[in-house]
């Protein structure tokens, strides 16, 4: 009887140790173990090249440095209500942290607060939210972007002998944090430069077609009356470039964009566009996931801000090389 009991106990011990080994292996490999980190990623849309760069940064970091982490990635199609629903779904799924690229800085408050109330940390990426419950932000300073762009355009105008430049600018989607802060920068720069005069401004959302129509109307309405046009994204300036070139004004009106998309940098090299602002989308994606993982593990995190850089004809070749590398990575996922 004692031998049978001893054998039974040994068998139970072996089974118990085997079960513990399987459980530990499952957790280490990121399998179905309950300790696996799942990160929800809610992006504003997947049509913008820059959003794709940020997503690529996330995917590349996960692949190379965090293979045990599971990503749930969704796109809101620029719809704040849809994005809020996606965040609520993430919370219901039990994700450990959320990376949020807010569609709208005000309307995103409810989504951030909902996640925070459930104890899920939220890292905003690139665009900001007015919620005070954001755990940390990764991005670049959009006031800096607008300032660098317009200061450069006004300097270029002065270098061409235009002492009283007449300025126009094209906004992105109103209420989007990039639009709000870049326009704030435009107003601050113009207030500092009394020699410059704002002629007209309007919004084209994120549409190159709308920017084309706006610029065509402005050229007709203000013949020889605009020296500088600043646009808040390269997806907008492509329309402005077309309108300016169609009017035979290529290289005569100073143009500034943002994001350093390849077609725009080619126009910088050709002297049609004065500048674009380089923003590190890959880096923003990487750092957003880094911080999300830390937050999911209960670590204290803080904002991570990546400086903007000005791309001009003098340094455009270096940025074209960086863009080629960035596009090659992005093409793996989009």
d(CA 27, CA 33): 5
Judged against a pLDDT cut of 80, whether residue 286 lies above it is answered with yes
- Total domain count for the chain? 2
Three-class SS of residue 120? Answer: coil
In a domain, 329, yes or no: no
For residues 205 and 80, membership in a common domain is answered with no
With contact defined as beta carbons under 8 Å apart, do 279 and 50 qualify? yes
Judged against a pLDDT cut of 80, whether residue 29 lies above it is answered with no
Instruction: Give residue-wise pLDDT tens across range 218-237.
Output: 999 998 799 999 999 999 99
For residues 150 and 194, membership in a common domain is answered with yes
% helix / strand / coil in the chain, to the nearest 5?
A: 50, 15, 35
| Residue ranges making up the domain that contains 80 | 38-139+280-302
For residues 215 and 238, membership in a common domain is answered with yes
Last residue of a domain, one of 263, 278, 293: 278
For residues 160 and 269, membership in a common domain is answered with yes
pLDDT value of position 34: 55
For residues 273 and 242, membership in a common domain is answered with yes
For residues 109 and 208, membership in a common domain is answered with no
In a domain, 295, yes or no: yes
pLDDT value of position 263: 95
d(CA 182, CA 36): 39
163: left (phi over 0), alpha (psi -120 to 50) or beta: alpha
pLDDT value of position 6: 46
- Two tokens, residue 281: 């989308």
For residues 168 and 263, membership in a common domain is answered with yes
CATH classification of the domain holding 80 = 3.40.50.2300
In a domain, 309, yes or no: no
In a domain, 157, yes or no: yes
With contact defined as beta carbons under 8 Å apart, do 166 and 227 qualify? yes
In this structure, are strands 97-100 and 38-43 parallel, antiparallel, or unpaired? parallel
Three-class SS of residue 314? Answer: coil
In a domain, 333, yes or no: no
For residues 199 and 295, membership in a common domain is answered with no
Judged against a pLDDT cut of 60, whether residue 145 lies above it is answered with yes
Across the range 48-62, mean pLDDT stands at 93
Of 7, 3, 287, whose CA–CA distance to 123 is shortest? 287
For residues 110 and 146, membership in a common domain is answered with no
Instruction: Give residue-wise pLDDT tens across range 93-144.
Output: 999 999 999 999 999 999 999 999 999 999 999 999 999 999 999 999 999 9
In a domain, 53, yes or no: yes
DSSP secondary structure of 197-266: EEEEEEE-TT-HHHHHHHHHHHHHHSTT---EEEESSHHHHHHHHHHHHHTT-TTTSEEE-SS--HHHHH
For residues 130 and 81, membership in a common domain is answered with yes
For residues 159 and 238, membership in a common domain is answered with yes
For residues 49 and 158, membership in a common domain is answered with no
- Two tokens, residue 70: 């599971």
In a domain, 270, yes or no: yes
d(CA 285, CA 34): 26
d(CA 69, CA 31): 10
pLDDT value of position 46: 81
């Amino acid at each position: 009887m004692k031998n049978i009991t001893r054998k039974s106990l040994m068998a139970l011990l072996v089974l118990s140790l085997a079960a513990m080994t399987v459980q530990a292996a499952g957790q280490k490999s990121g399998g179905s173990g309950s300790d696996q980190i799942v990160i929800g990623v809610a992006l504003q849309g997947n049509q913008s090249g820059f959003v794709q760069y940020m997503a690529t940064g996330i995917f590349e970091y996960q692949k190379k440095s965090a293979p045990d982490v599971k990503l749930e990635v969704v796109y809101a199609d620029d719809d704040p209500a849809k994005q809020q629903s996606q965040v609520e779904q993430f919370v219901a799924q039990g994700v450990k942290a959320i990376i949020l690229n807010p569609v709208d800085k005000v309307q995103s408050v409810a989504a951030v607060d909902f996640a925070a109330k459930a104890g899920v940390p939220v890292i905003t990426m690139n665009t900001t939210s007015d919620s005070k419950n954001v755990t940390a932000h990764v991005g670049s300073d959009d006031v800096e972007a607008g300032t660098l762009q317009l200061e450069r355009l006004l300097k270029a105008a002065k270098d061409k002998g235009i002492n009283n430049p007449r300025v126009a600018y094209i906004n992105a989607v109103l209420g989007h944090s990039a639009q709000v802060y870049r326009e704030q920068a435009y107003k601050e720069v113009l207030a500092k430069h009394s020699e410059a005069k704002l002629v007209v401004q309007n919004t084209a959302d994120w549409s190159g077609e709308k920017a084309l129509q706006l610029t065509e109307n402005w050229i007709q309405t203000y013949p020889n009356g605009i020296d500088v046009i600043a646009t808040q994204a390269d997806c907008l300036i492509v329309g402005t470039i077309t309108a300016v070139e169609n009017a035979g004004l290529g290289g005569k009106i100073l143009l500034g964009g943002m994001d350093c998309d390849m077609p725009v940098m080619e126009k910088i090299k050709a002297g049609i566009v004065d500048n674009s602002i380089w923003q590190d989308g890959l880096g923003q994606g990487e750092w957003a996931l880094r911080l999300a993982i830390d937050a999911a593990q209960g670590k204290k995190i803080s904002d991570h801000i990546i400086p903007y850089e000005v791309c001009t004809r003098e340094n455009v070749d270096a940025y074209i090389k960086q863009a080629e590398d960035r596009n090659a990575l992005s093409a793996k996922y989009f």
